């Protein structure tokens, strides 16, 4: 066993209100420079929807991630490494600007400088690429809250798993349903971006598992854009370098959570250490699709197990990191309670960002123009208004997102989520019979203690419970190479020159 | 005098520039080593241009290299007429492919508003020089037959004389204008390498063939492993 530590994440989708504060926090810090205007290292999508860039999940189109070939895994984008390099002069599966959107600003100056006339002057849109007037045709969240759903939501690749009738039902007004899917880089264990980079510019940091693009080594072969199935490496068209979410490592190194985590209004985000066995990455990435969720859980190791602790220490993982692994909210959600699932595990990159799926509203009806819940009450679903059997979103849709199609895994998660809900309502509001409460806990395979712990971490967790940061060894790292006091005088902000084109 | 300057002095200047400035740029501004791909901004034109250009130019350069390394074998091959025709025809075909690709790239650079934004002065200089060079090359192939044979007789000994530091310009100073232009053009391009995006040639990612897929970098451990 080769035990390593990974800074990992959980997003609790039930709590996301789709406000995009996370995206804006990230943009203001990292991507408001020339060449990066169109990038959203953090973005929030409406599901069902086509996402950003449009249809990113459709790997027939973009060829991201891995596929099985016999017993081996290979990048979907190449037959082989040689074959891949044959495409270096033109990458046939690369999304271009129009698959994202053309970033723009407005010609505000015109409001002041326009000559006097009969009409009000307007501020027309100006492209941030060409500086010319442009027609706005798309944006990074153009289909927010199901906007334009006949074009966007209707083309969500995950709907393929549904029957025709189920798909039609999603279009009926009173059955319409959506939820938000915030996305950042998953800092995968088997990253497609790293594997596809011909220059070897992208790497995983050994100590914390953060995936970074070395700006000095990147040569703009732009293979990572295709290699990442989540489309979370972006090409900076101005500097000729790829860039991606860095999990705010400079913030982590000074003990603060990443900006999107810190800013999150819904407090949906959790961050903590997971220990895993690096020897088994390939193995668990290669199992049949319906076993992927379980296999990916199995690589995560118990930070309370003395044997694992000893192995971790032998591998140089510090006591402080191990202590934070024991406190990790991510460990609880992912491994202990089995509530959080990876997004599209079938891409086989072993993502380290997990999602607690959103609770599902029940099917309701509209009677005489009113939202009618009598039927629901008759069916015994009040007051929770939630039921797995009568869920408005077909489970297969969620299974297609979070379990490579294995609906059983998603069902198990929902049984738990519903159990927690019924249990808490029964013990607080006391309008649910005890028998029903017991039944729900039994179905969810939860003890009372577990249900309450889940409730607590879901809804009451403090800042320090949500973000359990390991001490990231900045000083140690520096000290290994140069005397810290010398280093301090030499650098301040990393790059001493602007990352701009000069030659 | 001019010939001496161009054929005996300039080659050394060009190579020296390439080496000195190339190293200087690598160590002082490694960030700038990039192919500066513009595919993100424009897709279709790049497909026709870049694929034709690169496969064309790499085949042509390989041809020049083979002719330079084993001139005798090339002459022997050309001893039989049909083999000569096959060689010349395929060389010309690649030459025309290269030219076509380059013309598409140039038109693309100037016609697309998005691409104009990422076009520097050196990009334009480079494309013009490459155009002159490729036109001179194709011209030579068409009008001064059979290049693959006389290349062995004139150009190869001349290049060797340069490499041995005793330039013998008598081998080249009577060649037709277009051929001379082609030779000078080659030196200009070599000299331009470190000043332009041509540095991407020096970054060809060979290591990708043998490195493991995954790259992990540790602060303290030395090795990089998957
Ligand atoms: C060694 C193998 C080579 C590789 C891997 C390579 C790769 C590339 C790549 C990835 C691009 C960017 C294309 C894009 O915009 O997406 C590019 C552009 C370019 N390459 Fe190469 N190249 C090679 C050899 C050459 C050679 C031998 C030359 C000429 C002597 C050359 C001249 C150019 C030029 C002029 C461009 C810019 C085209 C434009 O106007 O957009 N390349 N190359
Ligand atoms: S800030 Fe939090 S609640 Fe708001 S959209 Fe982002 S993830 Fe959702």
- Is the Cβ pair A502, B29 closer than 8 Å? yes
Whole-number Cα distances in Å, B129 to B106, B132, B186: 12, 5, 9
E strands present in A163-228: 179-183, 202-205, 211-213
Three-state SS for A88?
Answer: coil
Question: Could you identify the atom of ligand 2 that is nearest to the CA of residue A44?
Answer: 5
Query: Tokens for A494?
Result: 């990393």
User: Which residue is it, tokens 């036109």?
Assistant: B135
Residues of A in Cβ contact (< 8 Å) with B51? 89-90
B219: nearest CA in chain A?
A477
B10-28 and B177-192 are packed helices; what angle lies between their axes, rounded to 10 degrees? 20
Neighbour-count burial for B142-170, b at 16+ CB within 10 Å, e otherwise: eeeeebbbbbbebbbebbebbeeeebebe
A88: nearest CA in chain B?
B51
Return the biggest CA–CA distance within chain A: 81
List, in order of start, the domains of chain B with CATH numbers: 2-209 (1.20.950.20)
Nearest to B39 by CA among A96, A78, A228, A53: A96
Predicted confidence at residue B89, as pLDDT, reads 94
Rg over alpha carbons for chain A, rounded to the nearest Å, is 24
In whole angstroms, give the CA distance from residue B62 to residue B57: 8
CB contact set of B177 (below 8 Å; sequence gap of 6+): none
- The mean per-residue pLDDT over the stretch B189-200 comes to 96
Query: Tokens for A243?
Result: 């860039």
Predicted confidence at residue A153, as pLDDT, reads 85
B52-69 and B81-111 are packed helices; what angle lies between their axes, rounded to 10 degrees? 140
Nearest to A31 by CA among A42, A15, A20, A47: A42
Ligand 2 touching residue A411 (CB < 6 A): no
Average model confidence (pLDDT) for chain B?
93
Give the residue, by CA position, lying nearest to ligand 1 atom 35. B127
Question: Could you identify the atom of ligand 1 that is nearest to the CA of residue A220?
Answer: 10
- Is the Cβ pair B31, A216 closer than 8 Å? yes
Which chain A residues in 136-165 lie under 8 Å from chain B, judged by CB atoms?
none
- Out of B122, B197, B219, whose CB is closest to A477? B219
Which of A66, A87, A96 would you mutate first to test chain B, the one with the most B CBs within 10 A? A96
Predicted confidence at residue A451, as pLDDT, reads 97
CB contact set of A61 (below 8 Å; sequence gap of 6+): A55, A93
Whole-number Cα distances in Å, B154 to A374, B20, B149: 97, 29, 9
Which stretches in chain A have pLDDT values below 70? 173-174, 362-367, 369, 371-373, 376, 379-386, 473-500
Ligand 2 touching residue A264 (CB < 6 A): yes
- Out of B25, B30, B38, whose CB is closest to A216? B30
CA distance A12 to chain B (A): 29
pLDDT tens for each residue of B138-164:
999 999 988 888 898 889 999 999 999
In whole angstroms, give the CA distance from residue A243 to residue A211: 11
Does residue A476 sit at the B interface (CB-CB below 8 Å)? yes
Angle A232-A156-A181 from CA coordinates, rounded to 5°: 50
Which chain A residues in 170-209 lie under 8 Å from chain B, judged by CB atoms?
190-191, 194-195, 197-200, 202-207
> Model pTM?
0.92
Predicted confidence at residue B13, as pLDDT, reads 97
- Out of B38, B39, B205, whose CB is closest to A199? B205
Which chain A residues in 483-502 lie under 8 Å from chain B, judged by CB atoms?
495, 497, 499, 501-502
- The mean per-residue pLDDT over the stretch B123-136 comes to 98
User: Are A40 and A140 in contact, with CB atoms under 8 Å apart?
Assistant: yes
User: Are A216 and B29 in contact, with CB atoms under 8 Å apart?
Assistant: no
Ligand 2 touching residue A377 (CB < 6 A): no
Query: Tokens for B172?
Result: 């080249």
Architecture of domain A266-466: 2-Layer Sandwich (3.30)
E strands present in A278-319: 300-301
In whole angstroms, give the CA distance from residue A220 to residue B38: 9
Q: How far is the CA of B198 from the centre of ligand 1 (A)?
A: 7
Predicted confidence at residue B21, as pLDDT, reads 96
């Amino acid at each position: 066993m080769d035990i390593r530590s990974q800074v990992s994440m959980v997003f609790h989708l039930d709590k996301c209100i789709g406000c995009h504060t996370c995206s804006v926090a990230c943009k203001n810090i990292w991507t408001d420079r020339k060449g990066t205007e169109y990038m959203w290292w953090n973005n929030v999508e409406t599901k069902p929807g086509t996402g950003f860039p449009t249809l990113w999940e459709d790997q027939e189109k973009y060829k991201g991630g891995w596929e099985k070939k016999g017993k081996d895994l290979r990048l979907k984008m190449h037959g082989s490494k040689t074959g891949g390099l044959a495409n270096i002069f033109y990458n046939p599966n690369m999304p271009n600007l129009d698959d994202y959107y053309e970033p723009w600003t407005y010609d505000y100056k015109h409001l002041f400088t326009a000559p006097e006339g009969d009409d009000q002057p307007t501020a027309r849109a100006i492209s941030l690429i060409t500086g010319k007037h442009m027609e706005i045709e798309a944006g990074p969240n153009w289909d927010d809250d199901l906007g334009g759903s006949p074009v966007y939501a209707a083309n969500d690749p995950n709907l393929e798993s549904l029957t025709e009738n189920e798909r039609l039902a999603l279009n009926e007004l009173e059955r319409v349903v959506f939820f938000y899917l915030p996305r950042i880089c998953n800092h995968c264990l088997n990253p497609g971006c790293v594997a596809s980079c011909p220059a070897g510019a992208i790497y995983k940091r050994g100590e914390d598992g953060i995936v970074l693009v070395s700006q000095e080594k990147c040569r703009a072969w732009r293979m990572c854009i295709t290699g990442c199935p989540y489309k979370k490496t972006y090409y900076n068209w101005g500097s000729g370098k790829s860039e991606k979410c860095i999990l705010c490592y400079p913030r982590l190194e000074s003990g603060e959570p990443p900006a999107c985590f810190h800013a999150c209004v819904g407090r949906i985000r959790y961050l903590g250490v997971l220990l895993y066995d690096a020897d088994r990455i390939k193995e668990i990435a290669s199992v049949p699709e319906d076993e992927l969720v379980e296999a990916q859980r199995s690589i995560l190791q118990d930070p309370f197990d003395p044997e694992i602790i000893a192995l971790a220490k032998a591998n140089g993982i510090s006591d402080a990191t191990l202590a934070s692994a024991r406190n990790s909210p991510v460990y609880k959600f992912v491994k202990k309670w089995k509530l959080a699932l990876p997004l599209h595990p079938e891409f086989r990159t072993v993502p380290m960002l997990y999602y607690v799926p959103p609770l599902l509203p029940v099917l309701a009806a509209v009677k005489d123009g009113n939202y009618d819940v009598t039927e629901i009450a008759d069916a015994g679903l009040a007051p929770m208004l939630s039921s797995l059997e009568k869920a408005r979103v077909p489970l297969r849709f969620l299974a297609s997102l979070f379990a490579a199609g294995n609906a059983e895994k998603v069902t198990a998660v929902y049984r738990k989520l519903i159990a927690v809900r019924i249990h808490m309502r029964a013990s607080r509001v006391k309008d649910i019979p005890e028998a029903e409460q017991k039944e729900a806990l039994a179905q969810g395979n939860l003890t009372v203690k577990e249900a309450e712990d889940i409730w607590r971490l879901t809804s009451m967790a403090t800042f320090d419970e949500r973000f359990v940061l390991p001490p990231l060894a900045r000083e140690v790292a520096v000290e290994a190479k140069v005397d810290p006091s010398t280093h301090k005088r030499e650098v301040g902000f990393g790059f001493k020159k602007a990352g701009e084109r000069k030659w | 005098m001019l010939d001496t300057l161009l054929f005996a002095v300039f080659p050394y200047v060009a190579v020296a520039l390439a080496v000195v400035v190339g190293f200087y740029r690598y160590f002082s501004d490694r960030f700038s080593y990039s192919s500066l791909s513009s595919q993100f901004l424009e897709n279709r034109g790049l497909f026709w241009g870049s694929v034709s250009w690169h496969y064309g130019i790499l085949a042509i350069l390989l041809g020049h290299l083979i002719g330079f390394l084993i001139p005798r074998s090339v002459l022997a091959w050309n001893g039989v007429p049909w083999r000569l025709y096959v060689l010349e025809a395929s060389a010309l075909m690649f030459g025309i492919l290269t030219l076509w690709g380059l013309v598409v790239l140039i038109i693309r650079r100037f016609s697309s508003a998005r691409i104009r934004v990422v076009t520097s002065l050196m990009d334009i200089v480079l494309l013009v020089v490459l155009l002159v060079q490729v036109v001179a090359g194709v011209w030579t192939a068409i009008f001064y037959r059979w290049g693959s044979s006389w290349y062995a007789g004139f150009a190869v000994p001349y290049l060797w004389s340069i490499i041995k530091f005793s330039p013998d310009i008598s081998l080249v100073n009577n060649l037709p204008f277009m051929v001379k232009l082609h030779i000078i053009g080659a030196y200009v391009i070599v000299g331009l390498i470190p000043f332009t995006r041509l540095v991407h040639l020096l970054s060809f990612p060979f290591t990708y063939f043998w490195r493991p897929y995954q790259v992990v970098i540790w602060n303290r451990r030395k090795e990089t492993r998957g």
